[in-house]
Amino acid sequence: MYQYSRAIYRSIKNLIDPYVDPETQLEYRRAVLEECEQTMERLAADPHYFARPDRALFADIRRYFPITAQAQVAWAVGEGVGAATSFIEQQIEAGLLDGGVSRCHATTRKGKACQRTPLPGRDYCPSHQHLEQPVAA
Ligand SMILES: [Zn+2]
């Protein structure tokens, strides 16, 4: 996920408040990068329950930017988080990422991945448990 947090950071780092002293500027950059990374980590770990991640990130970092740059920062954050969100959704659909919550491995009759929670320690939900490979004795 770091390619996405880096991309967001790169797109906004030059907008960070230019009127603070160099030391503060450096501190602001570190803080912005850290917030971007935390947002991406949370998004990857909990994509179904992280509502409006772009707004959350913007709210966390907007204080590091001058008023005149806010609209541009909000736009860049929206674009970057949007790209990360669609990447995560593709991964979940492809079954490469379970979205932090395990899902039944079965495919429904409509050809979609089953969204039910598997039985504890199993790969399938109660409706699909017959698909579980029998354990060799
Ligand atoms: Zn199922």
pLDDT of residue 101: 62
Domain spans of the chain, in order of start = 2-93, 102-137
pLDDT of residue 71: 97
Report how far apart, in Å, the C-alpha atoms of 97 and of each of 63, 102, 123, 134 are.
33, 9, 14, 25
**3-class secondary structure, 122:** coil
pLDDT of residue 13: 96
In which element (H, E) is residue 39 found? helix 22-45
pLDDT of residue 61: 98
At how many degrees (to 10) do helices 70-93 and 2-12 cross?
170
For 50-76, what is each residue's pLDDT tens digit? 889 999 999 999 999 999 999 999 999
Distance from residue 127's CA to the centre of ligand 1 (Å): 6
Is 0.85 topped by the overall pTM? no
Max CA-CA distance within the chain?
Answer: 71
Q: Which residues of the chain fall short of a pLDDT of 50?
A: none
Distance from residue 44's CA to the centre of ligand 1 (Å): 23
Distance from residue 121's CA to the centre of ligand 1 (Å): 14
Distance from residue 51's CA to the centre of ligand 1 (Å): 26
Distance from residue 95's CA to the centre of ligand 1 (Å): 13
pLDDT of residue 60: 96
Q: Which pairs from 59-63 meet CB under 8 Å and 24+ separation?
A: 60/35, 61/12, 61/31, 61/32, 61/35, 61/36
Distance from residue 1's CA to the centre of ligand 1 (Å): 28
Distance from residue 2's CA to the centre of ligand 1 (Å): 32
Distance from residue 135's CA to the centre of ligand 1 (Å): 19
Distance from residue 40's CA to the centre of ligand 1 (Å): 29
Q: What single-letter DSSP state applies at residue 125?
A: -
Residues 47, 85: contact at Cβ < 8 Å? yes
Residue 135 burial by Cβ neighbours in a 10 Å radius (0-12, 13-18, 19+):
exposed
